[in-house]
Amino acid sequence: MHLCYHASMKISTVRCTDLIAIGDDRFQVKLHSDSIPRPGQFILARFWTGIYPYMNTVMFPTNTESDGFTLEIKSEHPQSNNLSPGSKVNLIGPCGQPVTIKKSTSHLLLVARHNPNKLLPFAQLALKRDLDVTLLLSCSYPLESLDPRIEVHKGGLQQLLENNFDWAEQVLMDFRPEPIIHKFLHSISSNIHVLCETMMPCGTGACHGCIIYTKTGWELACKQGPFFQLSNLQLEVD
């Protein structure tokens, strides 16, 4: 009965073409696919066979090509043992709304607290346009796997933001900032998109499990997001 929830989404079975270790117990999973997510979109992936519609993993491509895209997983991922070159992966999506890099942007700022891989498609697109890309990183990540044209700064998040924010023309963040940082960022720039990461089990909006409260009402992360304009989000207060 619940399988009909995915009827409006593109469902496909694709092939893993390569599995590459990149350090820090992380692997790149290269998939051959006709459906290519745009920056800001995600897919629901399943590396095993089964009939349960909500037993999927929300994943963001780290790189896209004309014939497929790359995912990133850690070695302790529960489904990593099912992956090898030639293995099949079940996909739902692309899901969510893409985020456009504005034509007026010449310097893109990416801010990662958890994992920069969700932001890397924006870097890929910006570099293709010969834009400057800076990544602020407050988490562990194998920097040797990044494009060397990306300028990387590591350290405490608030200090990084204070030192590198005033020149940014467009900002993308992999987290929703707490109130003190929210107010600081909003006072500097209105062109900020943040990832409101939450449970997104269906990818269609059917389950209403990913409600995000905005200044104009509630929206669904899997449909209207998962990236939202910071200035449109209600300030979260504990």
Residue 5 scores a pLDDT above 80: no
Q: Do 154 and 219 reside in the same domain of the chain?
A: yes
Q: Do 193 and 133 reside in the same domain of the chain?
A: yes
- Mean pLDDT for the stretch of residues 184-202: 79
CATH number of the domain enclosing 59: 2.40.30.10
Three-state DSSP at 122 gives: helix
Q: Is residue 202 part of a domain?
A: yes
Q: Is residue 102 part of a domain?
A: no
Residue with tokens 């010449």: 106
Q: Do 111 and 228 reside in the same domain of the chain?
A: yes
Q: Which of 34, 66, 95 is the last residue of a domain?
A: 95
What's the domain range around 72?
Answer: 2-95
Distance in angstroms (rounded) separating the CA atoms of residues 15 and 113? 31
Q: Do 10 and 77 reside in the same domain of the chain?
A: yes
Q: Which of 73, 95, 117 is the last residue of a domain?
A: 95
Q: How many domains does the chain have?
A: 2
Q: Do 36 and 64 reside in the same domain of the chain?
A: yes
Q: Is residue 237 part of a domain?
A: no
List, in order, residues 6 or more apart from 59 with CB less than 8 Å away: 42, 43, 44, 45, 71, 73
Q: Do 165 and 219 reside in the same domain of the chain?
A: yes
Distance in angstroms (rounded) separating the CA atoms of residues 28 and 21? 6
Q: Is residue 238 part of a domain?
A: no
- Return the pLDDT at 162: 81
Among 66-75, 125-134, 186-195, top mean pLDDT goes to 125-134
Q: Do 134 and 211 reside in the same domain of the chain?
A: yes
Q: Do 86 and 142 reside in the same domain of the chain?
A: no
Q: Do 218 and 188 reside in the same domain of the chain?
A: yes
- Mean pLDDT for the stretch of residues 59-81: 86
Q: Is residue 100 part of a domain?
A: no
- Return the pLDDT at 108: 95
Q: Is residue 187 part of a domain?
A: yes
Q: Do 22 and 49 reside in the same domain of the chain?
A: yes
- Mean pLDDT for the stretch of residues 26-49: 90
For residue range 83-139, list pLDDT tens digits in order: 889 999 989 999 999 999 999 999 999 999 888 999 999 999 999 999 999 999 998
For residue range 152-173, list pLDDT tens digits in order: 999 988 888 888 777 788 999 9
Q: Do 150 and 180 reside in the same domain of the chain?
A: yes
Residue 49 scores a pLDDT above 90: no
Q: Do 85 and 147 reside in the same domain of the chain?
A: no
pTM: 0.87
- Return the pLDDT at 25: 84
CATH number of the domain enclosing 126: 3.40.50
Q: Which of 95, 115, 150 is the last residue of a domain?
A: 95
- Mean pLDDT for the stretch of residues 65-83: 83
